[in-house]
Structure 1
Amino acid sequence: MADIMDMLTGITRLVKTTTLNHQEATSVVLQLEVPAPVHDVWAACTEADSIQKWFLPISGDLGIGGRYALEGNASGEVLDCNAGRSFRVSWVMGQGPDSELLFTVTPTNVDHSLVELAHTSTVDPEMMANYGPGSVGVGWDGALLGLQHYLRGIPTGPQHRPAPEIMNPFMAASSEAWADAAIANGANPGDARAAARRTTAFYTGTDGQGAS
């Protein structure tokens, strides 16, 4: 429990208002230093056999212009790649809004790297008001937890998902951290905290729906 909460507090979170495909969009940005050299991080995030061990099974063509699909989750196209440093993909979930993911990894020393994830989407204003950036950010906090465990050699992936009594406090703390980031971006504090509570209820299944 202490390990995953320590990881959570080690993430830097930013919320930015931007544009995507000429429409107003929101970016959630996560930065985390991980205990692995760049080449190991890059392999973990770009090789299908590795991705499925800490995230989800993936199929398709992972080269530029190729299309991929994550089992039960997003699909999209590989838009750009700077091998060993960054890649950008479209990120589509069902009939959801336009969305892109930019991944960057930078060495901080010989055996540590800084990972940055920026997920930009043209989120429906009503959804953003109801759930805030945590609607996307909580899921990425969980993904970075899986990545860090994988890089440390700790069993991870869907089959090793921690029990609810461990993950629910993690998701509640993640929701609150995203409320902090929203407030720093100019959101009304009361509205941001209320959105965080709704996000926590969604991810923990206490709103009657549960996370997808």
Structure 2
Amino acid sequence: MRDLVDEIVAAHRDVVRRGDDDAELIAVTARRRYDAAVADVWDAVTDPARLARWFAPVSGELRVGGAFQVEGNAGGEVTECDPPHAFTVTWGGPQSVVRLRLTPDGEATELSLEHSVPVAFAGSGAGALYVGPGWDVAVLGLALHLRGEEVGDPAAWEGTPEVARFNAATIDAWAEVVRASGTAQPEEVDGAVAAARAQFAPDAVG
């Protein structure tokens, strides 16, 4: 069986600080290419029955103006729904925004997932370490689902030692990206890495 850590290189990660002094944001982006048609990927990320198989149960209405709740996670409101290319929601609060973009590439699809929050909330680019690893697991879970490698109960799967090792590796990957971005001081990155390990990979071994 494939080691999930090998999947780290399949995703591209980015952290930027943008906007003006009145509305500066930290934007955390994960991108991955899937060998699946854009219509299939769109269905996988917007159909509650499929979301429950690789992400989590989602209740509510996934349409513009609709409110939703992810079981055991955040809720919000759908602010954009443009099938099969663009889906935008608030995530746990009106200033926390997740944007999903799907771009066809022949018979494949590139997914871009951006999570942006005000700098005042994130503190610095080191804030990427509080959300990036979680989105990495989601991007991975979607890849497995689209390949027909079902994870069973996503919440139970996320608690396995295999995913903990993946999380530890992706925390290192995000830390490298944040350091290269110049959006955080070294001590901020070190503190965020420690917090991310405690949250996402407390028992990771090897």
TM-score interval (norm. to shorter)? 0.7 to 0.9
TM-score by structure 2 length? Answer: 0.86
Partner of 2:32: 32
Listed one character per residue, the Cα deviations across residues 82-115 of structure 1 (whole Å, up to 9, x for unaligned) are: 21001111111xxx682000001111221x2111
Asked if the contact 1:129/1:195 (under 8 Å) is kept, the reply is: no
Partner of 1:209: none
In the aligned structure 1, how far is the partner of 2:94 from the partner of 2:180? 24
Partner of 1:70: 70
Partner of 2:118: 122
Listed one character per residue, the Cα deviations across residues 156-175 of structure 1 (whole Å, up to 9, x for unaligned) are: 24266166431222111111
In the aligned structure 2, how far is the partner of 1:10 from the partner of 1:34? 10
Give SS of 2:175's match: helix
Give SS of 1:14's match: strand
Equivalent residue in structure 1 for 2:178, among 168, 182, 185 = 182
Asked if the contact 1:132/1:182 (under 8 Å) is kept, the reply is: no
In the aligned structure 1, how far is the partner of 2:2 from the partner of 2:52? 25
Partner of 2:143: 148
Over 6 Å off, 4+ runs: none
Q: Does 1:98 find its partner at 2:95?
A: yes
Gaps in structure 1 of 5+ consecutive residues? 207-212
TM-score by structure 1 length? Answer: 0.84
Structure 2 letter corresponding to 1:146: G
In the aligned structure 2, how far is the partner of 1:164 from the partner of 1:89? 29
Give SS of 1:30's match: strand
Q: Does 1:108 find its partner at 2:112?
A: no
Q: How many Å apart are 1:197 and its aligned residue?
A: 3.2
Percentage identity across paired residues of the two chains: 34
Further displaced range: 39-48 or 154-163: 154-163
